[in-house]
Chains A and B, each alone.
Chain A
Amino acid sequence: MDDLLSEFLTETGESLESLDVELVRLEQDPNDPELLSNIFRLVHTIKGTCGFLGLPRLESVAHAGENILGKFRDGELPVTPHAVSLILESLDAIKNLLTALEQTEAEPEGDDSDLIARLNAMANSKSAPAAKAAPAPETAAPEAAAEAGEAADDIDDEEEDVAALIDRVGGISAVDAAVELMYRKIMKDPELAPFFDGVDMILLHGRQVEYMTAALGGPDNYSGDDPAVVQKRMADKGMNGGHYDRIAAYLRDALVELEVQHSAIDDVFELISALREQAVGETADAAAPGAEGPAGKAKAASRSEQSGQTSVASQSVRITVDLLENLMTMVSELVLSRNQLLQILRKYEESEFAAPLQRLSLVTTDLQEGVMKTRMQPIGNAWSKLPRIVRDLSHELDKKIELEMFGAETELDRQVLEMIKDPLTHMVRNSADHGVETVKERAVAGKPETGHITLNAYHEGGHIIIEISDDGRGINVEKVRAKAVANGLATEAELDAMSEKQIQQFIFKAGFSTAEKVTNVSGRGVGMDVVRSNIERIGGHVELKSVTGKGSTFVVKIPLTLAIVSALIVECAGERFAIPQISVDELVRVSPNSEHRLETINDTPVLRLRNRLLPLVELNELLKLGGAPAPAGQAEDDGAEARSETFIVVARVGTYSVGIVVDRVFESEEIVVKPVTPVLREISIFSGNTILGDGSVIMILDPNGIAQATGEVLAAETMHHGGKGRDSRDARGSDRTPMLVFRAGGDEPKAVPLALVARLEEIDRTTIEESNGTPVVQYRGQLMPLIAVDPAFRLEEEGRQHVVVFQDSDRSMGVMVDAIVDIVEDRLKVEIESAREGVLGTAVIAGKATDVIDTAHYLRRAFGDWFQKAPRPSSNGGVSANRVLLVDDSPFFRNLLTPLLSVAGYEVTAVQGGEAALGLRESGHDFDVIISDIEMPGMNGFDLARAIKQDGAWKDTPIVALSSYASKADLEKGRAVGFDDYVVKLDREALLQSLTQSLSAHRGAA
């Protein structure tokens, strides 16, 4: 239901209830101006709100009622019981409309002109119209009317026809008057009067009105006994069919007196006789309840029973959120004290406190749950706006989308609910906007024209899982890749090493989605980083699964509540900290003898955990606790031994796992997260603080903050080595390069730059097939040729085969090796050039002479057309230590050409783009020749050449263009912007030749 509408219903329900009371008071004390103006104000507010919400039926009824109240207030109209009951009747009408509104969320069809006419007539007259208002018993009338209108739960289709009858009779007030007249006649009848001796006539009157109203199709509020029971009772008193006939006659007279249309009267009696067939003694039935003891009580009971079934308004109690929060805080404290007590109790084996404490503990748990429940709201509240959003979007975008929602009744903490409302809306909007295709696109893709977005919420072990899935186009991995590179979020090399799923996660990265570029590039993603950070802020996380062409699913996992969390207590450098249990995946104990070891890559500690490298964060370094220096940091190979035992808390932040190195791990405790004092709020590593069971204050670590901080640390480190380091060393082509060391045919290690390697695979040998005399394997939907390094290699029949996969764009090739030895980071400097095929030369890697594999050789063997058959490059013709700057956006080619050129005797510096190249120029580097790719994101080769030749230190440096395409136009253009030569990519001979020529020409010129 619309928020606005439900609020209106609750509020109006409250107003109406107080109006009922106030009007009755007014009737008793007609001259209280304060009361009157209060009533007037309430009705006026209802009218105003109805008008605002576009509820014309309600508005007109309220307006007519307000008119009368206005006259009351201005003294133009006396406050008569009849007038009050008329107003009450209008309030009842309003209530009925509200009930229908609550059920259907729309104003029901219908006509209130009769009521309004009577209200207006009242407003315009000086006194009540006599015809309709035979002076009703003073208290009974409003009450009856109020009850009559209280609520009609079951508004069914039939009602309209029958309702017409009660309207034709003249409404409830006419029935009221008719019954009044009828009873007067009955009481004058000596034969009938004795039956009613000692009966509470006012009550009877009310019952009768209720019964008749119901019978005539008005609201059914009959609160008396079953007609058959009444009939039996009356029969016991001696009432017979003749008596009933007389009563009926009096009723008819009364109706005639009230100038009710004859046709209507006939219909009424047709109805009554039909009812009499079921239970003879209809009209007098109401006599019975009077004999039934305290009528007021019975009525009150039935009333409360009724209101119990009816409106939201009377069911709910509105409490300020503050009060609830306060309760929650107190309960949280209670839970903590309880925990504290239990902790103390644990020290004593036998204690007389044990039993009462156990009870206290149970009650506390129940209380906690109870208070939690008061904060629980169905998740549907957060969804209520979604159908509308999806509907609007689908119209706007010309799509057909069906939104399905499951588990709307799943409850979660209102604080959590508030926090996920926006992210959810955002994800659904994204799904509708970017996920689901247009009708036309769907037809082309062979999908049904209506797209589906499904929301599904359910509980799972203290968490709520919300899935948002669509059957749209999914996430285009290629576009995400391109975007990630363009935005500098990752390099091609990093992306190459990632799985599709990992690449898809980029849509959650800040800076990935920069407004309009994203909507058409990535397919979706505006503000997904915000979505993720919002969800993570409440300790949840979001996962994405997407299959191109099939659709995407976001899985959001959030804790049920934020107030009390379970946390792991750890110690580091003598200080204790809490880590929310929800983000802890596992604990790893590391000691010299355990299977897990701390290792280092370039002084960065990592943990080998189930064949994965887990980045580690030393908590005492991160927090600058200044404990014992982390041995792993400075360690050589035996570093891990310096510390006898360490614990690693594997924390997960989204899809990123990080190991937090701590000294000790204690048990987990339930804690109440309290916000930190403003002074400390800037420290992102803490999410709050709390008081533990032993009374000490403890800081709560925020894994998000840690991940961010380490990200920065890592970035800073990369900067350090990649930036400064490159200045001094890398610029000379002797920086450390990660190398994959493996064994293939023979004991001597072989190496290949890791950046060239797409993946390491183990392939079941039985899946290896043969094609054209070459072993191939089906790999990711393609046939991948497998090449052996060792010519004498013979494929075994069974077992698993290690394969190093190389990939360039959509082609993959596998090199079969005997064993993967290690990944080491070392300077790649080919000391001895090799004459052997497939080997670039020998370099010292990790202290051992290692053959550096010529990847190009194997690529050529796998795909004949990958490179032209070129003879091995001739030894460099004495041109030594020529410095080459290689500009190429593809890490593949950078890594391919770097060893190739260094073999040819050049000192190679490779950068991935024009901007980076110019950056080197600014920092004063000098090169003898520049080789640049043409097609590059950002600044392309032409722009770079133009920039270089324009002026600056490099304007005389020869530039060789390197491109996959070499059309004449390109050549012309290249020369025009200042390229000295133009070489087709991968023609090494030509490249080397061109370099030599350019250099000698340059030297000659210089």
Chain B
Amino acid sequence: MTARKTSSAGGEEPTREFVTITVGKQLCGIPVLKVQDVLGPQKITRVPLAPPEVAGLLNLRGRIVTAIDLRCRLGLEARPEGDEGMSVVVEHGGELYSLTVDSVGEVLRLPAGDFETNPATLDAVWRHFSEGVYRLKEGLLVVLNGDSLLDYGSRVAA
């Protein structure tokens, strides 16, 4: 069960599965196998002095999970007060991170043919975090790269 490029039984073209999320107004996708959990609002412990995108820490079944506010990470404006959003838990480098997003949608199976690399004019921050784009009927889905989102060693100057 590695990053799935499954070819379905019918001999169709290879597809990938994504959990869809919305951040701001943008529809994004995270490879389904990366996602460990989807959480509703959680009790989060604030971490003083932490980078702004680190919303805090939470306890997920005895493991400490770092909550990252994806809006902040992607350079979008903060969620309105009172809107707690939802979280998608992913693993990176042995650590769990919960990416706080506006909402979590369904799981989509997308054919490779609809995939396209980032448009050259995409904002630098987004280009860094995005693997590419799927053309969907209802709009565009940006494939988020969990590794570059959480790799703080090579943080881009946002």
Which residues of A approach B to under 8 Å, CB–CB?
333, 575-576, 623-625, 674, 677-680, 683, 685-686, 689-691, 695-699
Contacts and interface: CB of A to CB of B under 8 A. Distances in A.
Nearest to A683: B49
A680 B56 CA distance: 10
Given A679-B152, A680-B50, 9 more contacts: A575-B45, A674-B64, A678-B152, A695-B59, A697-B45, A697-B57, A697-B64, A699-B48, A699-B57
Contacts of A674: 64
A685 B48 CA distance: 10
Contact of A625 (B48, B54, B64, B66): B48
Contact of A689 (B43, B51, B57, B150): B57
B46 interface: yes
B46 A677 contact: no
B58 interface: yes
A121 B21 CA distance: 81
B95 interface: yes
Of B45, B56, B66, B93, most A-chain CB atoms within 10 Å: B45
A989 B149 CA distance: 74
A686 B46 CA distance: 13
20 contacts: A333-B62, A575-B45, A576-B45, A677-B57, A678-B95, A679-B50, A679-B66, A679-B150, A680-B47, A680-B54, A683-B49, A683-B50, A689-B64, A690-B64, A691-B64, A696-B43, A696-B45, A696-B59, A697-B45, A697-B56
B45 A624 contact: no
A531 B66 CA distance: 33
Nearest to B51: A679
A698 B59 CA distance: 10
Nearest to A691: B59
A576 B48 CA distance: 11
Interface string B91-102: 001010100000
Interface string B28-61: 0000000000000001011111110010111100
A625 B46 CA distance: 10
A575 B50 CA distance: 14
Nearest 7 pairs between A and B by C-beta?
A: A623-B48, A697-B57, A697-B45, A677-B66, A683-B49, A679-B152, A697-B59
Contacts of B45: 575-576, 696-699
A127 to B, nearest CB: 61
A696 B62 CA distance: 10
Given A677-B64, A677-B66, A678-B93, A697 B58 contact: yes
A440 B97 CA distance: 65
A512 B150 CA distance: 39
Interface of B: 43, 45-51, 54, 56-59, 62, 64, 66, 68, 93, 95, 97, 150, 152
Contacts of A697: 45, 56-59, 64
A623 B97 CA distance: 23
B64 A680 contact: no
Nearest to B153: A678
Contacts of A689: 57, 64
A188 to B, nearest CB: 76
Nearest to B97: A677
Of A576, A624, A674, A683, most B-chain CB atoms within 10 Å: A683
A446 B49 CA distance: 58
Contacts of A695: 59
A244 B37 CA distance: 86
Q: A interface, by DSSP: helix, strand, loop or mixed?
A: mixed
B152 to A, nearest CB: 5
Contacts of A677: 57, 64, 66, 95, 97
Of B48, B50, B54, B58, most A-chain CB atoms within 10 Å: B48
Contacts of A679: 50-51, 54, 66, 68, 150, 152
A624 B49 CA distance: 7
A567 to B, nearest CB: 15
A698 B93 CA distance: 22
Contacts of A624: 48-49
A753 B38 CA distance: 66
Nearest to A623: B48
B96 to A, nearest CB: 9
A575 B45 CA distance: 8
A689 B45 CA distance: 11
Contacts of B51: 679
Contacts of A686: 47
Nearest to A690: B64
Contacts of B47: 680, 683, 686, 699
Of A576, A624, A679, A685, most B-chain CB atoms within 10 Å: A679
Nearest to A674: B64
B48 A575 contact: yes
A341 to B, nearest CB: 14
Nearest to B53: A679
Contact of B66 (A575, A576, A680, A683): A680
A695 B45 CA distance: 11
A685 B50 CA distance: 11
Contacts of B58: 697
A340 to B, nearest CB: 11
Nearest to B43: A696
A677 B152 CA distance: 11
Nearest to A626: B48
Contacts of B95: 677-678
Contact of A575 (B46, B68, B97): B46
B49 A623 contact: yes
A686 B47 CA distance: 10
Contacts of A698: 45
A686 B62 CA distance: 20
Contacts of A333: 62
A572 to B, nearest CB: 9
A699 B66 CA distance: 12
A699 B45 CA distance: 8
B150 to A, nearest CB: 8
A295 B56 CA distance: 70
A259 to B, nearest CB: 71
Contacts of A685: 48-49
Nearest to A692: B59
A623 B49 CA distance: 6
Nearest to B93: A678
Contacts of B59: 691, 695-697
B143 to A, nearest CB: 23
A691 B62 CA distance: 7
Contacts of B46: 575
A697 B42 CA distance: 12
Contacts of A696: 43, 45, 59
A964 to B, nearest CB: 51
A725 B125 CA distance: 42
Contacts of B54: 679-680
Nearest to A619: B48
A624 B51 CA distance: 13
A73 B1 CA distance: 47
B120 to A, nearest CB: 30
Contacts of B152: 678-679
A54 to B, nearest CB: 44
A691 B58 CA distance: 9
A258 B97 CA distance: 80
A683 B152 CA distance: 14
Nearest to B50: A680
Nearest to A572: B48
A136 to B, nearest CB: 59
Contacts of A678: 93, 95, 152
Nearest to B49: A683
A699 B68 CA distance: 17
A698 B95 CA distance: 17
A333 B62 CA distance: 9
Contacts of B56: 697
A697 to B, nearest CB: 4
Contacts of A576: 45
Of A625, A678, A689, most B-chain CB atoms within 10 Å: A678
A29 to B, nearest CB: 44
